[in-house]
Structure 1
Amino acid sequence: MGIITGGTRQGHEPELTGVVIRSSAGHLLVAVDGTIWRCQMRGRLKRGKRQSQTVAVVGDRVRIGAQDPHAEPPRGVLEEVLPRTNRISRMAARRTGGHVEQVLMANLDQVVAVQSIAEPRPQTGFVDRLLVAAERFGVAGVLVLNKADLPEPADQKTMWDYFVSMGYKVLRTSAETGQGGPQLADLLKDRVSLLIGASGVGKSSLLNLVEPGLRLRVGEVTGKTGLGRHTTTSTELFPLAGGGFIADSPGIRGFDPWAIAPRDVRDYFPDFAEPQQACRFRTCLHRDEPVCGVKEAVAKGRIPRWRLAAYLSLLGDLEERAERLGPRKRP
């Protein structure tokens, strides 16, 4: 990441290639060979109707023109966003009507879903939806359960163990005691990772644990709502001393995956792959169809009921969105 490709167009400023480490309101910080450039977006990139909320996001490889390389920091202008290898994205705020994509990060190796054992309680269905987005775009998914120094209800442990049985890495940590810190550092080493979760679960605290030099602001859970206060206001990418990069993101409480048709969502639940072979109909959505292999697996206890409920909730939301957009605008 952040390599100079060099080059100068005749009559134009030198061109460089770097990686976006922060993006906010048309202003970017771009890492180019160890130097941070402050860049503005070229006007032509802002024109016209866009399907995505932001032109360039954290993790994007971009081409910039050097306007004032001797300023502190050096200043440039964004010329082009280079093709992405993958991304993690969701539907932007529902007031957009499902027409706008919010890309949280591009060109990453793994997304790390951070949940807390308690204070606040884990978000029902959030992890399932985030992992669907990861499966959709070919990004590895990791689960981190923070505040492991607090008592863990038995039903929660059973739930997290089920994710382990599907092949996902699940790590228990405590920013308070240091538990799991070395293991988390090892998971992040030499990878480009995005930490995502609700406010108050301890994302920034965990980053301070594995990379003390970051000194990120830490918030607390409010007693009135049981939810956390935002301390991270925008996604930012940080280099890790041991190798790799980590992006800390603002807390989010909901996740509606982008670019998934309702008929395809079942394919991103890997635990459904084998039992759905027994479905009578190839188009079975595992809802009210007769002879459904997935529902039979639930009845026999091979798939937990909460897992099917998470799938059906997401399916319903995607169908509602598809209905609003109409057949020509569906992903």
Structure 2
Amino acid sequence: MNRRYSEHDPEHYDRPNRRGSRPRTKERPTYADAVPGVIVTVDRGRFTVMVAGRLIWAVKARPLGRKGVVVGDRVRLEGDVSGVDGSLARIVEVEERTTVLRRTADDDDPYERVIVANATQLVVVTALADPEPRHGLIDRALVAAYDAGLSPLLCLTKADLADPEILLSTYRALGVPWVVTHGVNQPGGGDLSELRERLEGQSSVLLGHSGVGKSTLVNALVPDARREVGHVNAVTGRGRHTSTSALMLRLPDAGDDLTRGWIIDTPGIRSFGLAHVEPEHLIEAFPDLDEMTEDCPRGCTHGADEPECGLDEAVERGDADPERVMSFRRLLDARSVSSY
């Protein structure tokens, strides 16, 4: 027996790194005593995990190999889960993910990067001014949300600087829900009751460009978060990155459910590749339009330049809202338009 591990350690059952070797035992560990937790942040191979209302630190057990573990993953742990200084547990299992929000570095990059697992809602945080809204990122975020099976929500900040109707008119045909925040930067934090209602019972990813007020929202929603707040460069109109890693935070009064009542703050992004999204998968997020494409020619992408597309025929018959079809096709185009 390897002296480094007892017979109760998962590592004891590893296959030696010798070609042709056999497993040391046919009996695999059951992890009967493993405790459940959820990954709240990742930092250079170390994981912070919420277990029974307390934060503990963990590393991956060797049997997991190269298996990725990301924020939002529900895991099972063995070892020291006391959370005291110097303690360290082992992640021995990663439960099956219900949803995966991913992106690529750019549209030509085949390598997918998982942003967060097991979320239920994607909150696209957009400033109405300072910096100006960037429709490219909003469209791409919506595509990623639909592809991942997440419910999208537009959260519009800095409503004191511009009329939200100008932006909302672009997305109303898609049926995307929205909420406008007021006075978050003012003393008292403004009224966030509508946003809190939208977040209740959800595991929500907050995504947006730097400088849109995402960290300010997080600090108002979770006062103990203390996320650093940045400012917009007066020359470039771009914000400074303040969040450097994704962080999952429990909303106040969320209860004991490990899967609900969370927000995930993500670093401000400047690119959101969609190389992994297929057109046929995107249209499935719009059941009314999907039904109208049943007789499309094989290989039809449902774009505006496709001959004999069922969407065009539905518009001609009056069965489809032209504005909704146009908005859907704008999302299709967002997969290949890189100016965002």
Short-chain TM bin: 0.7 to 0.9
Residue in 2 that maps onto 1:216: 227
Matches within 5 A, 1:1-331: 11-12=8-9, 15-47=34-66, 55-67=68-80, 69=82, 71-72=84-85, 74-91=87-104, 93-94=105-106, 98-152=109-163, 155-163=166-174, 166=175, 168-174=176-182, 175-177=184-186, 178=189, 180-243=191-254, 244-257=261-274, 259-269=276-286, 272-273=289-290, 276=293, 281=297, 283-285=299-301, 286-295=303-312, 297=315, 301-303=322-324, 305=326, 307-314=328-335
Q: Distance in 2 between matches of 1:98 and 1:44?
A: 29
Give the secondary structure class of the aligned counterpart of 1:133.
helix
Q: Distance in 2 between matches of 1:207 and 1:25?
A: 24
Q: Which residue identity lines up with residue 176 of structure 1 in the other structure?
A: N
- Give identity over the alignment, percent: 33
Structure with the higher helix share, 1 or 2? 1
Q: CA deviation at 1:46?
A: 4.2
TM-score, with length taken from structure 1: 0.78
Deviations 1:5-41 (CA, angstroms, capped at 9, x unpaired): xxxx963396322110111221100111012111122
Query: Radius of gyration: which is bigger?
Result: 2
Tell me the C-alpha RMSD between the 2 structures: 3.1
**Paired residues of 1:287 and 1:312 also in contact (CA < 8 A):** no
Residue in 1 that maps onto 2:14: none
**Paired residues of 1:172 and 1:180 also in contact (CA < 8 A):** no
Residue in 2 that maps onto 1:324: none
**Paired residues of 1:219 and 1:228 also in contact (CA < 8 A):** yes
Could you say if the C-alpha distance between residues 306 and 253 of structure 1 is closer, same or farther in structure 2, counting changes exceeding 3 Å? farther
Q: Which residue identity lines up with residue 124 of structure 1 in the other structure?
A: H
Q: Distance in 2 between matches of 1:280 and 1:31?
A: 48
Q: CA deviation at 1:196?
A: 0.8
**Paired residues of 1:171 and 1:180 also in contact (CA < 8 A):** no
TM-score, with length taken from structure 2: 0.76
Give the secondary structure class of the aligned counterpart of 2:144.
helix
Unaligned stretches of 5+ in structure 1?
1-8, 318-331
Give the secondary structure class of the aligned counterpart of 1:80.
strand
Q: CA deviation at 1:248?
A: 0.7
Q: CA deviation at 1:109?
A: 2.0
Deviations 1:131-188 (CA, angstroms, capped at 9, x unpaired): 222223322111111111112276423114334xx2x211111323555511111111
Q: Distance in 1 between matches of 2:40 and 2:139?
A: 27
Aligned length: 297
Could you say if the C-alpha distance between residues 272 and 223 of structure 1 is closer, same or farther in structure 2, counting changes exceeding 3 Å? farther
